[in-house]
Structure 1
């Protein structure tokens, strides 16, 4: 028997300490609801769950960002809706003014309302805001510019329209090679059937041709008043915009007949053998490449060359829309050969809005909202005080209405996309939260079971420690 070292008491104390430590852990987990309260509880699990927490909070904020983005787009689209309504009213007035039952005085009164509507369109463009940010004044648009005609060797007819708001600001180059006209007689009639020789753009006059440069698209040729005896007919040419270009009375059906230039088209009238309506599509086929940087070098190529045919003179490539007109200036004056490589240089200024719709870097949706004033819409010069002006105004307003429709459609499509984004964020948030819970949260039932077991062990160990402390007293019996 020993009294200096009570091994049984030390053993009971060690077990009691361990049980108390485990009980303390149980109490901590039960009171916090977490399985991991500090790194020592599970170092790897803590690191994983903290990354998940970052994602979870980012997802929740991204969802709120997407909702705010939808609110901004709805504000813009609502303003465009009102512009749309005013353009429809202006078109209605233009149709009214084009009727010659109106006197000059009547048309002046109609013009007054149109002028007021134009002022209101500019006002809406300048004053529409969301959270003090102006929306329709061009500050949220992607703009393009061509500095000079010398920089436009590819003969882009109008400023490039950026379709992809992700394109960066900077200098761009469009390379056009292997250009050729593609002629297709959609509706043959009156003997005009040969797409290679019967109808094509007239190249005899460039500078003096009043129809130069001509738009690509579908032309209508009406052959009327055909007289087989006199061998003549009235030929009218209507442009792709639906407006009459020219009409002439010409000799037809004769072997020695001429090829006439009517409305900018070269028409082989000796092929005409009757009256009828001919529709011919004239487009341009070429290989298009896009470069970004100071020079159109191979290392700056961002969109590889692709051979495409325009549609109504328009081609979309690399997220940019280009419009072309027929331009015979591409022929070199000294040799008469067609220039094979033509390059236009233009710049892009990207002011588009970035909506952060994900928890991580660069998880954004870029939105550009075009300027909606009367200059951009092309209706600044709308004047219905004459019959011709009113007739032209109908076409101008049709184009403006189409531009507004395209802008609203793009915003509507993006809103639908954002709604799907929100649904995906909510699902991801739910699943990631469940994953983080499995790592970090305590199983309360299990912890309570452990706590009960450890609590009983604590009581048992305390009792045994008391018994062990009594054991050395047996030595006193030997000392009596």
Structure 2
């Protein structure tokens, strides 16, 4: 290489290497300080796109877990209220049994019937008062065919409650419905407000469950109360099975989120051991380039020695 003074090619080469190594040192510093291998699109364009999709899936899964947990709380609220209704129905059966015997006169049966009607009114009150976050659970608003009667097009959805926990909108994977039949006394066929039974039956059979003011009505009410208890138990059994499904769903969602988070971490997060090795390498190369640039900058002085000589 010729000794010239217009261009210091060795200094230019050292400066280019210094710029390259210093830039890589900056990248390693950014990765180590942020913990991210992919901090900008320039780091890994395809990896960044995949990572962002994974992050949206992970966030959706976590929200789905919260949705399912809220649904479990709702179901537990309804089941707790039905447990109280269960106690009232047992008391109704006890009162009907009491009024059905012949050792009480008409006045005493009317007193027994007044408590019977009060218990029916309390069952209805519980059904109308039980709500979760403003959603009434036992008044019949959530009854119907889950796949048909739900309508979420309005500001307030109607029909069975739709629990959405998946990241898509597939009925087989991402949501299902909670249908709760009405649990008022009249829906159980009990109390003064209960509808008349089939017109072809006897008067006592038509009015079974409405009152226990006579011995015949009290005796016919016992079967009606049994049917009410069975109806209530079916509601509770359905709620219990749905709660078990939701708990299994939460477990599955947690596993999905965990595995997806691991995959996202492999794409996005920096391997500290590997990156620290690269950092030290670039640090040494940068220091070496600085030293060589200083030496290269001093080489033109040799030409000045020749001119001066």
Deviations along 1:434-453, one digit per CA (max 9) or x if unpaired, are 11000000011111111111
Q: Which residue of 1 aligns with 2:186?
A: 375
What pairs with 1:8-407 in structure 2 (closer than 5 Å)?
8-142=10-144, 162=145, 165-168=146-149, 351-362=159-170, 363-379=174-190, 380=194, 381=207, 382-407=210-235
The 8 Å contact of residues 58 and 360 in structure 1, kept in 2 or not, is answered as: no
Deviations along 1:83-139, one digit per CA (max 9) or x if unpaired, are 111111101111222112222222212111101001101111111111122211222
Secondary structure at 2:177 match in 1:
strand
Gaps (5+ residues) in structure 1?
Answer: 143-161, 171-348
Q: Which residue of 1 aligns with 2:253?
A: 425
Following TM superposition, the consecutive aligned residue runs of length 4 or more in structure 1 with deviations greater than 3 angstroms are none
The 8 Å contact of residues 141 and 350 in structure 1, kept in 2 or not, is answered as: no
Deviations along 1:320-358, one digit per CA (max 9) or x if unpaired, are xxxxxxxxxxxxxxxxxxxxxxxxxxxxx9611111212
The 8 Å contact of residues 66 and 357 in structure 1, kept in 2 or not, is answered as: yes
TM-score scaled by length of structure 2? 0.87
RMSD: 1.6
Post-superposition offset of 1:397:
0.6
Post-superposition offset of 1:169:
5.9
Aligned counterparts of 1:350 and 1:37: Cα–Cα separation in 2: 46
Secondary structure at 1:372 match in 2:
coil
How many residues align structurally? 281
Post-superposition offset of 1:472:
1.6
| Alignment equivalent of 2:280, drawn from 452, 464, 474 | 452
Which structure has greater helix proportion? 2
The 8 Å contact of residues 150 and 160 in structure 2, kept in 1 or not, is answered as: no
Gaps (5+ residues) in structure 2?
Answer: 152-156, 195-206
Secondary structure at 2:186 match in 1:
helix
Aligned counterparts of 1:169 and 1:66: Cα–Cα separation in 2: 18
Which structure has greater strand proportion? 1
Secondary structure at 1:375 match in 2:
coil
Q: Which residue of 2 aligns with 1:295?
A: none
Range with bigger deviation, 376-385 or 438-447: 376-385
Aligned counterparts of 1:374 and 1:452: Cα–Cα separation in 2: 78
Q: Which residue of 2 aligns with 1:324?
A: none
Deviations along 1:188-224, one digit per CA (max 9) or x if unpaired, are xxxxxxxxxxxxxxxxxxxxxxxxxxxxxxxxxxxxx
The 8 Å contact of residues 63 and 422 in structure 1, kept in 2 or not, is answered as: yes
Aligned counterparts of 1:16 and 1:359: Cα–Cα separation in 2: 48
Aligned counterparts of 2:136 and 2:158: Cα–Cα separation in 1: 16
Secondary structure at 1:41 match in 2:
coil
